[in-house]
Amino acid sequence: MFTASQPLTQPTFIGQQDGEQILCLIKAHPLALISQSLKVLAASLLLFVVIVMLNIVLPEFSSIITPLFSLTSLVIFIVGFWTVLSSPAKNLTYITDRRLVRFQATTPFTINSRTLSWQDVVKVKTFPPNFIWRWLNVGTIVAHSHSTMVNTVETKSQSVLSDDDIDIPHVHYYRDLGNYLDKILYLYHKTPKDLATLKPFVFKPRGHRD
């Protein structure tokens, strides 16, 4: 199961700072991989149905439609599954004693990284995509950053939503982990020295995390 690792003493991600302690490594729940694979399969099957329907409606163009759409369907299937199956190793989120670091694959060949220091985190929000994921205790965590102050014609400054928020989807025990992040945020601002003694988050049911 994709869960989290214990704090690591050696650098484990690009850009890790000296002395920065990893408190939690988040990977997507395995069911997310299954869900995404089913979507790829559904897209391929839908295109196959389109091929059949077009051949019925436009039989005179079947010699062009069939190979063209069949090739497209095959490409979607191969590239889609390749992207989905490689995503667990690319879409990673590190929770450290200094910041959140999110690595996310934007294409099969590129990975973007985003960071948000605890100094810039305003609040942490958790929610499930739907009732099924809620029942499975899998949801999304969003770390909201400070609003950006900009000058406008009407007023000298206005608070607008920042695009620096970090969202982490398909997290197992998302509510408990959200509470854990709230604790980090509190300690960072109130008693930062206590972060050094904070235990890592363990992806297990309550009462079994010692």
Tens of pLDDT, residue by residue over 137-155, are 999 999 998 754 344 444 4
How would you list the strands of the sheet with 22-26, edge to edge? 22-26, 92-96, 99-107, 110-117
Q: How far apart are CA 55 and CA 45, in angstroms?
A: 15
Share of the chain above pLDDT 70, in %: 86
- 106 belongs to a structural domain: no
Coil, strand, or helix at residue 69? helix
pLDDT given for residue 186 in this prediction:
94
- 46 belongs to a structural domain: yes
Of 79, 97, 73, 120, nearest to 24 by C-alpha is 97
Residue range(s) defining the domain that contains residue 54: 36-85
123 and 178, same domain (yes or no): yes
Q: Is the pLDDT of residue 199 over 70?
A: yes
**pLDDT band at residue 210 using 50, 70 and 90 as cut-offs:** low
pLDDT in tens, 73-126: 788 888 888 888 888 888 999 999 999 999 988 777 888 889 999 999 999 999
- 175 belongs to a structural domain: yes
pLDDT given for residue 178 in this prediction:
95
Q: Which residues contact 161 (CB under 8 A, 6 or more apart)?
A: 147, 148
- 16 belongs to a structural domain: no
126 and 190, same domain (yes or no): yes
- 11 belongs to a structural domain: no
Q: Is the pLDDT of residue 18 over 90?
A: no
141 and 190, same domain (yes or no): yes
**pLDDT band at residue 64 using 50, 70 and 90 as cut-offs:** confident
**Pair 96, 15: CB distance under 8 Å:** no
Question: What's the number of domains the chain is made of?
Answer: 2
- Tell me what the mean pLDDT of segment 61-68 comes to: 76
**Phi and psi torsions of 117, nearest 5°:** -75, 155
pLDDT given for residue 41 in this prediction:
86
